[in-house]
Chains A and B, each alone.
Chain A
Amino acid sequence: MSHTPAVVVRDLHVRFGDVEAVSGVDLTADSGRATALLGRNGAGKSTTMKVLAGVVPPTSGAVTVAGHDAATDALGVKRAVGYCPDVGGLVPRATPWEHLQLSARLRRMGDWEERGRDLLERFELGDVAHRVVGGFSHGMSRRLSVVLAALHEPAVLLLDEPFDGVDPLGVEATLEVVADARARGACVLLSTHLRDLALEACGEAVVLRGGNRVAAMQAADLTGEAYRALLD
């Protein structure tokens, strides 16, 4: 029986004008597993994530997410993916509940309110569910972005810097979301600079440098020294 990974990236190139943000990344990620995407600033992690989320079209290369071609079926990709962007990711004058309502309805979710409330409570955002997010702290915004990504139990969960500026309780809740997603058979891709948290959340790791993949290994093998050697 053939096994198709949830995420397949072959020779991905993304160019913005004269700048090549991603130059030839290859990547596969399986369902039921969590893969950490590591690398220095500007390594191409966030751009790769945006391509996988259907936000940025690939300049060249093949990208398949949950069976949908990112170049030709961006809408299909968006239905299959839950994405927490690296920066912001919230409409400043809408409330968390309005974000959840829009996301759920556009994905044709029936009874989403209970799960929405549960997630908000788990991330300690229940008290501010109806408050405009413009006044949120950075950590609160990050936590809500994770909630939005996880709400519809996507087949592919993309978390870009979900721990950035988040307090320990928020980190715990995010790790739980990752574990839940793996348990129900979703593919998780998690981009972060925090190697220790990446190792805790993920079984596999991919290291990018200068827009290229330089290593793919079991997360347990990525020691501090090995990681540092790959970054330089």
Chain B
Amino acid sequence: MPSSTEPARATSRWVDALRDTGHLVAFRARTVRRRGAAIAGAGVVLLLTLVFAVGPADIDAGGAAGDVLDTLVDALSGNVGAAMAATLLLSILSATSSGGGREMLSRSEASVHPVSPRVEHLGALALAPLNLAWLIQVWGLLAVVALVTTGDARLGAQVVVVTWVFAATALGQAVGWAVEGVRRTPHGVLVVRATGVALALVVGALHLTGRLRPVVDALPTTWLAGAMQDDRWPLAALGLLALAVTAVAVGGVPAAWALGLPPREELRVQSGVHEARPVPEPRWGSVDRTLLRRLDRGSVWRSVGMRRGLMVLGIGPGLVALVAGLEWGTVLLLPGLTASGAALLFGVNAWCLDGKGMVWRETLPVSAADVFDVRALVVAECMAVVSGVTIVLALLRNGLPPLTTGVAVAACWLVVVVQVLAIAMTWSIRSPYSVDLSSPRATPAPHAAMAGYAGRLSLVTTLTAMLFTGLAALPWAWVPAAAALPFLAWSTHRLLRARRRWLVGEQRARVVLTVAAV
């Protein structure tokens, strides 16, 4: 029979966990290098959140634009419930692909401290918003709700949205830990992969048989979408708040289970055997470059986190384009976002692929230019592949686009890949970090820096994509191609500037010693 003191003990444990999480957050905050920039960045995010929550409500278009807006509002009104369900799906995918969620301290740093699974769980929850996909999803949801609600109902509806985001994040985290727990059991990786494929097939089958929409409409989120717009919103908000608190508390159980098991997939990869391959005979370029490229590609694809992240980024948005039948105007936004996501896996701190081996790499008799070019190529490959998969899946769904749209898509794809590459390589040399990417929960830079990187990349690529969306509506196919030229010229200039900095011995030594932490 449970003791009467049990609930008190449980409460005390959560209070301790909250206090410890606070200590870790404070520790992390104290190690932020550019405090002013971090505070300004947080301010911009809050401001943007406010703009998305309020701004669309004030759009007052007349004439033809007003008709377009009315049509858009009508279309969005019926999709608020689906958008809310998508937020939950994204939270689950994010927590699942990152091995339960981001870590406050790296595994080696945390190993000497008494950090409990509850603290790991709360830390992962606290870090969930520092994620490009999470922010975009939240901003999108706030903007849609601001557009489709009217007058007095708007404030209540946005309160429901905010509580739903909390609840969805906590639920996603709990599911993420549970999936990570299964993944760490014998044959767990196989079970998770098979379940993922089965779920994708079920969704595909539902879509092909025309039942997906009714299923989505039958979800409780549809009720929420209705309730938030009338006087039931306080009830909905309170219910969601209770759900969020429950999900946070319940999530501690799978977190403790998962973190108590050995990380089989990582251990398997870390002790992986790769038989010797002959020295490659390059079709173009030198043997030196080919060998360096092979080493760099191995560093990417032999990492659990990067491999999983690239697969999710490549297939996830593409599947949405395939299933939801996104129009080309929307598809144009995706390559920039997926390329940014790929850069955020390691490209923003590209030299961290070598870890402590960076010092040894630097003793090899190979030109610094070759080293830079090969690393930039491998970063570009990852971005091009994941964004390319999205476009190919959209092509499968939509068929060949009209000429101007096709040129705009190709030009936009090329522009955003080169743009993100130039930015990422610049950051890699300007602000290198020593990180251990052996865990899928690790990030290539501290969390505050990652949030800044995510915000800036998403802003730049989204604005670029919006420009090309506008150009795609013009009757001249040469315009998007011509518009790409100044973008490419500027990004190439930035990339070459980063390369020149890398070629300076002192700059390179600073990067090497920082990344290797010696």
Interface residues of A (CB under 8 A from B): 16, 46, 50, 53-57, 74-75, 78-79, 81, 83, 85-95, 97-99, 101-103, 105-107, 129-132, 134-135, 145, 148
User: How far, in whole Å, are A107 and B364 apart by their CA atoms in the complex?
Assistant: 8
- Pair B276/A106 contact, Cβ less than 8 Å: no
Interface string of B354-371 (1 = CB under 8 A from A): 111101111111110000
Known: A56-B509, A98-B295, A130-B276. A89 touches B288 (CB 8 A): no
Taking a contact as CB atoms closer than 8 A, the residue among B267, B367, B510 that contacts A75 in the complex is B367
Report B's interface with A, CB cutoff 8 A. 267, 269-276, 279, 287-288, 291-292, 294-295, 298-299, 302-303, 353-357, 359-367, 436, 438, 505-506, 509-510, 512-513, 516-518
**Smallest CB–CB gap between B2 and chain A, Å?**
43
The 7 A-B pairs with the shortest beta carbon distances in the complex, nearest first, are: A88-B356, A91-B357, A135-B270, A57-B505, A93-B302, A78-B365, A89-B360
Instruction: Tell me the bound Cα distance from A105 to B359 in angstroms.
Output: 18
CB nearest neighbor in B for A70: B505
How near does chain A come to B507, taking the closest CB pair, in angstroms?
A: 10
Which single residue of chain B is at the shortest CB-CB distance from A90? B357
Q: Which residues of A contact B279 (CB under 8 A)?
A: 101, 105
- In the bound complex, residues from chain B placing their C-beta under 8 Å from that of A53 are 363
Minimum Cβ distance to chain B for residue A20 (Å): 14
Q: Give the interface SS of chain B, mostly helix, strand, loop or mixed.
A: helix
Interfacial chain B residues near A130, Cβ < 8 Å: 273-276
Q: How far is the CA of A85 from the CA of B509 in the complex (A)?
A: 14
Determine which residue in B287, B303, B363 has the highest number of CB atoms from chain A within 10 A of its CB, and name it: B363
Knowing A57-B505, A145-B360 touch, does A102 contact B295 (C-beta < 8 A)? yes
Kindly state the separation between the CA atoms of A75 and B367 in the bound complex, as whole angstroms: 7
In contact, A55 and B359 (Cβ under 8 angstroms):
yes
**Contact present for A94 and B295 (CB under 8 Å):** yes
- Which A residue's beta carbon lies closest to that of B361? A91
Q: Which residues on B sit within 8 Å (CB–CB) of A55?
A: 359, 362-363, 509, 512
A93 touches B276 (CB 8 A): no
Q: Which residues of chain A are within 8 angstroms of B270 by Cβ–Cβ distance?
A: 132, 134-135
Cβ A91 vs Cβ B363 within 8 A: no
Task: State in angstroms the CA–CA spacing of A90 and B364 once bound together.
Answer: 12
Q: Is B298 a contact of A93 with CB atoms below 8 Å?
A: yes
In the docked arrangement, what's the CA distance between A75 and B368, Å? 9
Contact A91 B359 (CB under 8 A): no
B480 to chain A minimum Cβ distance, whole angstroms, is: 39
Closest to A113 in B: B276
> CA A95 – CA B354 in complex, angstroms?
13
- Is there contact, CB below 8 Å, between B366 and A106? yes
Known interface pairs A92-B299, A93-B302, A135-B271; 6 further A-B residue pairs with C-beta atoms within 8 A, sorted by A's residue number: A85-B518, A88-B356, A90-B356, A91-B361, A130-B273, A132-B270
CB distance from A86 to the nearest CB of B (A): 7
Q: Is the CB of A132 within 8 A of B518?
A: no
Report B-chain residues with C-beta under 8 Å of the C-beta of A94. 295, 298-299, 357
- In the assembled complex, the CB of A2 is this many whole angstroms from the nearest CB of chain B, namely 28
